[in-house]
Amino acid sequence: MSDDAPVWFISGCSTGFGRELARLVLEQGGRAVVTARGRDRVADLAAIAPDRALALDLDVTDQSQINAAVEAAKTHFGRIDVLVNNAGYGYQTSIEEGEEPHIRAQFDANVFGLFALTRAVLPILREQGSGHIINLTSVAGLIGFPASGYYSATKHAIEGWSDSLKAEVNPLGIQVTCVEPGPFRTDWAGRSLEQTQSHIEAYADTAAKRMADTSGYSGTQAGDPVRAGQIMIDIALKPDAPRHLVLGKFGHDTVTAKMKERLAEIESLRDIALAADFPDE
């Protein structure tokens, strides 16, 4: 085992970005804690480099599993250099027709699980005085789309939290990046997406249409998850890693257009904004 190779701790390695990233890390000589809801689902990844991989059970909604996995990683490797919060899934429905159990379950996995895993890893990074936390959010973490209100809310929550996290841990030598993919050719729409179908006619051209479109384009998206994984590796240990990393042409073009529109609106309302203050003495 190479004792100086960076140690990655990656949640959600059974499919999609997590799987491709873990594979690349191990193939390129890195050390990795590869996790999934059932370590048998990542046994093939660990087999790439048995001396540099540790496969663990991890359900991020289970605090006892989080504690056990982080402790096992520290015992096995002695450190963690990059935490990748990738575990999560999508949920589509209209806002009005969203079902409470699905909404709360999504927040448990996408938000509270991510928070809990990060809190468990932070003491290790803080003691080292170094590390990088990479949070997989989404273009939907910066822009709201029809049918994705609750999913988008989970990703917006991570974005705001990451701003505060960066302010607290950057002075300690720890970096924070949110990776914000647009549509990528993973199995997200097939295996990692739940839907509550819209039956209200008023949403036929918004939420219902987007749900149908999402199911239809699975497997034809422009984004390549292997290339995305390599980009994450390339920026992970740089001292000037970006806070925002939007991936894919659709994502980049859509986000930059929305940010320009948002800034223009805010700037146009400056006089109104200032009018809310007490008059100058």
pTM for this predicted structure: 0.94
Q: Which residues contact 127 (CB under 8 A, 6 or more apart)?
A: none
pLDDT for position 2: 60
Decide: 57 and 106 in contact? Cβ < 8 Å: no
Q: Which residues of the chain are under the pLDDT cut of 70?
A: 1-2, 187-192, 216-220, 281
How far is 227 from 269, CA to CA, in rounded Å?
41
pLDDT for position 258: 97
- Burial profile 61-82: b = 16 or more Cβ within 10 angstroms, e = fewer: beeebbeebbebbbeebebbbb
As to burial, measured by CB atoms within 10 angstroms (0-12 exposed, 13-18 middle, 19+ buried), residue 164 is exposed
How far is 11 from 246, CA to CA, in rounded Å?
20
How far is 211 from 213, CA to CA, in rounded Å?
5
Nearest to 50, CA basis, from 1, 98, 94, 90: 1
pLDDT for position 214: 80
Active-site residue 151, yes or no? yes
How far is 46 from 53, CA to CA, in rounded Å?
5
pLDDT for position 162: 98
Give phi and psi for 10, each to the nearest 5.
-120, 125
pLDDT for position 1: 44
Domain-wise residue ranges, the chain: 7-250
Q: What is the CA radius of gyration of the chain?
A: 20
How far is 241 from 81, CA to CA, in rounded Å?
14
How far is 190 from 167, CA to CA, in rounded Å?
37
Strands (E), the chain: 7-10, 31-36, 53-57, 82-85, 90-92, 131-136, 174-181, 193-195, 244-247
Q: Which one of the listed residues 91, 150, 151, 203 is annotated catalytic?
A: 151
* Whether domain 7-250 has CATH 3.40.50.720: yes
